[in-house]
Amino acid sequence: MFKIKISIDALVNSHYNLMCHCAYISNFNIKRNLTEQKEETAFWSVEVKELIYLPIEKLTEGMELARNIPGINPMLPFAVSGCKLSERMICRMKTIGVQGAYICTAITQGIEPEDFVEPELKTKMLTSIRDVFDQSLKKFTFQSSRQVYEEIAKVAESVVMNVLNKDKYLFQMIDIRDYDGYTYSHSLYVGILSVLLGKYIGLSISNLNDLALCGLLHDIGKTDIPIDITNKPGPLTKDEFEIMKQHPSLSYKKLGDHIVISQTVLQGVQTHHEKFDGTGYPFGLSGKDIPLYARILAIADVYDALNSTRPYRKAWSPRRIFDYLTSCSNTHFDPELLTAFLHCVSAYPIGTIVHLSDGSSAVVKDNTPGFSLRPIIRFISPPQKAGRDVDLSCELFNLTIIDDDEC
């Protein structure tokens, strides 16, 4: 999901240098501080397969996948955990829009990314969302509309229970998605992010269920927009954008006409493109006149969209996304909700490789709520720093993470 500046050659070389460094210590028995020696030896000598996340442009032939790469059909992975990457596979992954992959490595012992949603549950959710969107393309009958609601309501309940069962508020997930599955995964993550924010501000379970429905269904009206517009690999023309702007009202009509669903959900879906300063659509509502669910959806929608690679652009870097969201406070977004949201998401999920302002490289070990851009890291290079953990939120020196677009 994240586009972090680091040369894979540098990563591989740093790992090689570290192994040589340890071998040098072992072979020549250099006398040094006993505590440091034990810590370094313990960290690097244990041969266990851990995993890190690398963006697609950093993958190379021969790397071993640590997790499945999903295919167009959520039930059929493109590639399975344990297989070795080939140049052909990497090229194909780029073609279908896969943004990166988890690979096996021995350099991050004890650092295990946590799935915000378990892979099996996520697959079931995405399959249900796909079924609902596919059904919306057909003529609704009483029976089919009832089935659609029951299916999406179960997904909404699963989203809420999944969020409520998390000890932390932080959302930290690297999503390995493709272009064709964007609509479904985007709907799922807007639902998850919205519920996470709703939980943070203290909404009831009933309200969280409605909020989840809003997120899952907010774009269902796009099924009535010509596919050459929704899937256009580039910016929309003025006329095309006017057509695209109809999708919130189309969602409202499609759901209101065929599915028994609460008015608050319908209003949230219809107004999620309103802006806090009144410049949004379809009604030009402003401030607290915009329904609460819509104000929440607006933030989650933009965050996930910018965090995703599309056919016409790459995903934005974490700092760029946070800077953009902050710049839109009180114009596009409700400032109070935005502040709360930025406490709920981590810019750099656990397992992400990052490049630092002093030229060193590190892997994200953990995150601290309220310090989304300053995680806890473990150095992997240079050798003299390797294995040392640093909490950037407490770091007295001006050490920061550098993204590609900051160079």
> Does a structural domain hold residue 407?
no
Tally the domains of the chain.
1
Residue type at position 76: L
Number of Cβ within a 10 Å radius of residue 206:
10
> Does a structural domain hold residue 403?
no
Alpha helices for 165-310 (secondary structure H): 182-200, 205-217, 227-230, 238-244, 247-258, 263-270, 292-306
Instruction: Report the b/e string of 130-140 with b at 16+ CB within 10 A.
Output: bbbbebbeeeb
> Does a structural domain hold residue 313?
yes
> Does a structural domain hold residue 35?
no
Model pTM score? 0.73
Query: Which domain range does residue 304 map to?
Result: 119-342
Q: What angle do CA 379, 384, 387 make, to 5 degrees?
A: 35
- The secondary element (H helix, E strand) that includes residue 147 is helix 142-164
Spatial contact of 87 and 93, defined as CB atoms under 8 Å apart: no
Q: Note down pLDDT in tens along the chain; length 407 residues.
A: 333 333 334 333 433 333 333 333 233 332 333 333 333 333 322 233 456 778 788 888 888 887 788 776 666 778 887 888 888 888 888 877 787 887 876 655 566 666 667 777 788 888 888 888 888 877 766 567 788 888 899 999 999 998 998 766 566 655 545 445 678 889 999 999 999 999 999 999 999 999 999 999 999 999 999 989 988 888 899 999 999 999 999 999 999 888 888 999 999 999 999 999 999 999 999 999 999 999 999 999 999 999 887 777 888 888 899 999 999 999 999 999 999 999 888 888 887 888 899 899 888 888 888 788 889 898 888 877 877 888 998 866 678 898 866 55
List CB contacts of 228: < 8 A, sequence separation 6 or more: none
Spatial contact of 391 and 368, defined as CB atoms under 8 Å apart: yes
Checking DSSP bridges between strand 389-391 and strand 353-356, what pairing results, if any?
A: unpaired
> Does a structural domain hold residue 206?
yes
> Does a structural domain hold residue 387?
no
